[in-house]
Structure 1
């Protein structure tokens, strides 16, 4: 029997799980309030309090770090690489701390895992955010110096596609999907025959979300940048962390926004606008697949809200059957990735090896 600790920090929470082989023995989520997060505006400053939260939960349930055979961490923003499970080493940690092009909360997971493992317990990441399967046409931005990059909720997107394929009694790699992952950030992806051929970067593109602005009018962004009112870090935080629902309504919680929308017309329009933008992005990805879509899948935390789901469905129900798979299956996918390596079914890839990266 293999015991695996799973670590998955989100923009507003930290989730941990304990798996014994395929069985989940513990799953717990620590919510971080907006005020707590604002005390640590620099992402790497969150390492200590998130790590201490994990240790506190383990102690509460009678676990010690040395009880585990492996730690499975959510993959951060690395250079483009192939799908698979990777061993975490010093090179990966240095990159995530100092060289990652995006300050994304997923960068914390491997670092926390590595600190907990202290070189005695192997730490793995599976299907990091930067898994790249995009078609060439999707990479063009309109400016030669700027290339669109594949950053997505790849782990959960692929997991829910497999679940829907089972419902359709078909092979995942024979189907086409459009998946909207509705979390603190929103990824909408076109999946053709098992590969994510196009997806919006939830930090820079696509719909606005509870904490992020999504795509912005570039002229207005340029004017803000040169207005003298903001530092670079202030603008980055304004766009990712303090954008979306936070900027409009002062909350990053869809449940609060929906409650407010019952009595406040502005809040109602803001929530409707977020659903509208999700629907518009889904429509664009249907076009990427030439209209040949077997299913549209709504997943992530916000898919728990029937009210919000119905808003999105009203825009896209004519395109393809809509499946709702609320929540996230990242913990299971991370644990199973590590388990396949521990059992010898797969060999862990070594990050930084040239042939493992996407040229």
Structure 2
């Protein structure tokens, strides 16, 4: 039996849409939203009808008959108390996406958009592998601060999709394997995958610096900066995300530009790139310690994994410790489609969202 899926991925300045027939991409479009376009919609949820209307118009221009769809899959939002995999967008999840997300983010519209398309067709709407999916082991949650409990925050969608892709290439199931996946992009996260569960992770503000993230460093240094009187909280946040990492050190987050400088003999650029590779390897090493069994592979993925220079440097640090494979790209649309397809084929169970109060220390 063949399945058609509509995949929706809303971002802050664009909405990506695609139609898949099983694993095959039929149509895709990225619709850009300027500040002027979004100005009439002061709240994020106000954009729902606007974005849905744009996708409907595109599909109409393509002459695609919506009645052919078997399901609609939207990007998962910033949702509390969920695990990885697919969730049915029912009334409880829709209410959460509208009123109770962890914070505002364009991805919160993904499930709502999917439901708008699915309900009139009487077909299921799903989200898949939301970024806040959290399956950390209890011991991975504990920190040295009584007031702080760790939660998982990593590139869940691409990390798990890449794990599935690697397992399939090996003739095995993702749920049978122990993998460490390093997602290398504008932000870098590293996650430990044990038999289908992300048991620990290093988020993009707690591990390697990246093209525009500051990464982790000794907390005393950060405290000194915070209380130096030189920076506001907003400015410190930009040092963590947006203006840190290679952007701060080299004035650019374009790795191709960095590599051009290295080829031209720029020793500082070469040192920063080497440091970037070392920090990625150290982040992977942290996750290697999470397993009590053998590791099947370390996977380097994400947009930066297209850089053979960078991945080659990372592999120099790790090759004697474990098997390292490179599967570049982010492939978010494909990941959403394949997740929905596994649900439709009965290869995965779909979760139902149950809003509960989060467990805190001492409760």
Do both proteins adopt the same fold according to a TM-score greater than 0.5, normalized to the shorter chain? yes
* 1:197 maps to which of 172, 196, 199: 199
Query: In structure 1, the residue corresponding to 2:62 is in which secondary structure?
Result: coil
| CA RMSD, 1 decimal | 4.0
Partner of 1:206: 207
- Provide the rounded CA distance (Å) in 2 between the counterparts of 1:325 and 1:13: 25
Query: In structure 2, the residue corresponding to 1:198 is in which secondary structure?
Result: strand
1:81 to 1:171, Cα distance in 2 relative to 1, 3 A: same
Partner of 2:27: 26
* Offset of residue 106 of structure 1: 4.0
2:92 touches 2:355 (CA, 8 Å); kept in 1? Answer: no
Partner of 2:294: 292
2:78 touches 2:103 (CA, 8 Å); kept in 1? Answer: yes
Partner of 2:316: 314
Residues 57-76 of structure 1: pairs in structure 2 closer than 5 A:
58=58, 62=62, 70-76=71-77
- Provide the rounded CA distance (Å) in 2 between the counterparts of 1:206 and 1:12: 27
* Offset of residue 98 of structure 1: 6.4
1:268 to 1:32, Cα distance in 2 relative to 1, 3 A: farther
Residue-by-residue CA offset, 1:153-193 (whole Å, 9 max, x unaligned): 22222222233223333343332211111122212112222
1:351 to 1:293, Cα distance in 2 relative to 1, 3 A: same
Residue segments in structure 1 that go unaligned for 5+ positions in a row: none
1:131 aligns with 2:142: no
* Offset of residue 298 of structure 1: 0.9
- Provide the rounded CA distance (Å) in 2 between the counterparts of 1:65 and 1:228: 60
1:281 to 1:347, Cα distance in 2 relative to 1, 3 A: closer
1:85 aligns with 2:80: no
1:158 to 1:118, Cα distance in 2 relative to 1, 3 A: closer
Residues 1-359 of structure 1: pairs in structure 2 closer than 5 A:
2-8=3-9, 15-28=16-29, 51=51, 55=55, 58=58, 62=62, 70-88=71-89, 92=93, 95=96, 100-101=101-102, 106-107=107-108, 109-110=110-111, 113=114, 117=117, 120=120, 123-202=125-204, 204-263=205-264, 264-290=266-292, 292-339=294-341, 348-354=350-356
Query: In structure 1, the residue corresponding to 2:183 is in which secondary structure?
Result: strand
- Provide the rounded CA distance (Å) in 2 between the counterparts of 1:13 and 1:308: 29
1:161 to 1:258, Cα distance in 2 relative to 1, 3 A: same
1:80 touches 1:150 (CA, 8 Å); kept in 2? Answer: no
1:337 to 1:358, Cα distance in 2 relative to 1, 3 A: farther
- Provide the rounded CA distance (Å) in 2 between the counterparts of 1:209 and 1:229: 24
Query: TM-score normalized by structure 1?
Result: 0.79
Which stretch of structure 1 is more off in the superposition, 172-181 or 251-260?
251-260
1:65 touches 1:117 (CA, 8 Å); kept in 2? Answer: no
Residue segments in structure 2 that go unaligned for 5+ positions in a row: none
* Offset of residue 16 of structure 1: 3.4
* Offset of residue 345 of structure 1: 7.1
Which stretch of structure 1 is more off in the superposition, 71-80 or 5-14?
5-14
Number of matched pairs:
350
* Offset of residue 256 of structure 1: 2.6
2:72 touches 2:125 (CA, 8 Å); kept in 1? Answer: yes
Which stretch of structure 1 is more off in the superposition, 278-287 or 266-275?
266-275
- Provide the rounded CA distance (Å) in 1 between the counterparts of 2:243 and 2:43: 14
1:45 to 1:351, Cα distance in 2 relative to 1, 3 A: closer
Q: Which has the larger radius of gyration?
A: 2
